[in-house]
Amino acid sequence: MSSLDFSSFFGTQTTQSGGLSSVLSDYASIKNGSYGKLLKAYYKKQETNYASSDEAKAENKKYSQLKSFSSDLKSSASALNDNSLYAEGKYTVKYSDGTTAESSYNMDKIYEKAKNFVDSYNSAIKSGASTEDGSAVSSRTLSLISFTSKNSKLLGDAGISISSKEGSEGQLTIDEDKFKKANISAIKSLFNGQGSYASSVENKASILSSMAESQMSKISSYDAKGSYSSGSDSTASLSSFFSSEI
């Protein structure tokens, strides 16, 4: 009985000698490290292909710009909310036609900060709207536009209007002379103090910047979106890679 068992065993091994040779060859590849090198090379190749793709570059650029514009908006809103900007004194205000007037506030400087805010705001919402992907980023941008719209009356009193023109919907424009001649109380209620419009925009811009940074991180990460997955297609691709490499 024992001899029969051994004969059967050795007979089976003889007919599978090709398979055994293949297994031993694979084992040798694993042991000497060449198999691991092939794996690393394959996944590095896949990651590089995605990271350098036009789609990934375009997406990364889009969110990088949004992060930059949102950070600028946060900074400009913070600058408008600086108490020292509204310190009283004796100032000369210059209007767009070259004429001047006396004022208790440095309206030229306040206008400069407000103009920076308007420019930063327009860049941020334009960049955020360009995502158009139904994501939290685009939703957050729409929320900012909606919030600004709710403050249209106060903004108007300060010479800042909201465009409804096609192609520039939601963007702000500022009338220099009207702003400088506006009641300082209207300007301060908009831009100065906790809970003011500027304070709220600063917080919203900070969130938008963080979300843009998060999207950039997702794009640059090595995941199933642009690299390998656990599906059969990936396995086939992996096999073909090893075949070509070996």
Task: Give the C-alpha separation, 168 to 75, whole Å.
Answer: 23
Residue 176 lies in a domain: yes
36 and 136, same domain (yes or no): no
Task: Give the C-alpha separation, 47 to 166, whole Å.
Answer: 41
Residue 154 lies in a domain: yes
132 and 176, same domain (yes or no): yes
Q: How many domains does the chain have?
A: 2
pLDDT at 86 over 60: yes
207 and 240, same domain (yes or no): no
Residue 12 lies in a domain: no
Residue 11 lies in a domain: no
232 and 170, same domain (yes or no): no
Q: Domain residues for 237?
A: 22-53+226-246
Burial 125-156 (b: 16+ CB within 10 A, else e): bbbbbebeeeeebeebbeebbeebeebeebbe
132 and 203, same domain (yes or no): yes
Q: Predicted confidence band at 177 (pLDDT cuts at 50, 70, 90)? A: very high
Task: Read off the tokens for 137.
Answer: 């980023």
Residue 207 lies in a domain: yes
Residue 144 lies in a domain: yes
Q: Is 73 exposed, middle or buried (0-12, 13-18, 19+ CB in 10 A)?
A: buried
148 and 242, same domain (yes or no): no
pLDDT at 72 over 60: yes
Residue 3 lies in a domain: no
147 and 175, same domain (yes or no): yes
pLDDT digits (tens, 9 = 90+) for 9-66: 334 444 445 554 555 555 555 555 655 555 565 555 555 554 557 777 888 888 899 9
91 and 125, same domain (yes or no): yes
143 and 212, same domain (yes or no): yes
pLDDT digits (tens, 9 = 90+) for 101-158: 999 999 999 999 999 999 999 999 999 988 765 578 888 999 999 999 999 999 999 9
36 and 69, same domain (yes or no): no
38 and 126, same domain (yes or no): no
41 and 99, same domain (yes or no): no
Residue 14 lies in a domain: no
